[in-house]
Amino acid sequence: MMQQAAGIDKAVNPAPDPAVVGRMLQLIYGRLAGQVVGLAAKLGIADRVAAGTTTTDGLAAELNANSSSLRRFLRALASFGIVAESAPDEWRLTAGGELLRGDARASVRDLARLFARPEHSASWLELEHSVLTGTSAFEHVHGMDGWSYFRENPEAGEAFNAGMSSIASSIHQAIAGAYDFSGIRLLVDVGGGHGRLMARILERFSSLHGIVYDMPHVVEGTGPYLAAHGLADRCEAVAGNFFEGVPRGADAYIMTAILHDWDDEACVKILRNCRRALAPGGRVLIGDFVLKPVNEPDIGKMIDLEMLVVTHSGRERTEAEFRELLRQSGFRLNRIVPLPSGNSLVEGLAE
């Protein structure tokens, strides 16, 4: 009877596809991989190899590390395609590893460091809290929102700013290269920080003038940044609060990674302020992830969970949700421009 039952079980539950099993294990081990990459960024492995320290023993000496355990760590990095062993215990960077260098044009080193930090990891360990309650696990764990936490913990705040700057660099390059700003006379970057996106756009479109609009303590550093890049005569920094209003008379208003920080009500308020200030025939440009259909793989859906875990009310949105936000604000969705950085530029035209 036991043999017969075993045979029935085998027929009803055939062996799973090994590729599917492998994929599931990859997902389960994925968190560990992120910690490995984050530690490689923290230890500066890519910077050290690029500077000429290419042996296991040499790296161990610089890091005051156990050579045997470091080799095991480097071997794991090699399995991820971040380094490669060119000779026994001799390492070189791959194309992926190059992006972990601090001086790489599209460096992700500081982003990897940020995601491996204890305050971030502790928040994600409480993902269940966010999924069941709809509220921030970060606030649940740390007793305050992220902005308050970073003010009280300057080291964490610096790590957060560096991580955001690291990913923003590739997004800024993508926007400046993928969208035609030539028909715009005056562009306002709403929540534009120190003007890095504006600088990339102004460098490519010589007839364009700009305004970088942000909180007073932020724009203190904007003028010097623009001057250092020779753009002070074509762009000014203006202080204010985008919930209260924005500079008037621009042909276009752009905001990147701004609306995803807020709920729909707040987003409509920001967009309506832009609509009221807009010159006739103008447009609004939103740089955020546009979520793909439910069954399609999409890194944006993971970023959406990141917003659920670490922010008070932030979220990524679908095309339909952007269309509705724009409609409520006096715009119509005209087109969505996918960017090489994985997110998109949503273009809304004034109704």
Check: CB of residue 82 under 8 Å from CB of residue 100. yes
Catalytic pick from 120, 172, 194, 260?
Answer: 260
d(CA 44, CA 146): 26
> Which is nearest to 140 in space by CA: 128, 163, 123?
123
Measured CA distances, 347 to 4, 124, 208, 210 (Å): 64, 33, 18, 18
Count helices and strands in the chain by DSSP H and E runs? 18, 11
C-alpha Rg value of the chain to the nearest Å? 24
Check: CB of residue 336 under 8 Å from CB of residue 346. yes
d(CA 189, CA 97): 33
**Could you tell me the two tokens for 305?**
């969970």
Strand partners, 288: 344
**Could you tell me the two tokens for 225?**
């940044």
d(CA 47, CA 104): 10
**Could you tell me the two tokens for 256?**
């990147």
Mark 271-281 as b/e (b = at least 16 C-beta within 10 Å): bebbbebbeee
Q: How many residues does the chain have?
A: 351
On the CB side of 134, CA atoms within 13 Å amount to 2
Q: Is 260 a catalytic residue?
A: yes
- Residues belonging to the active site: 260
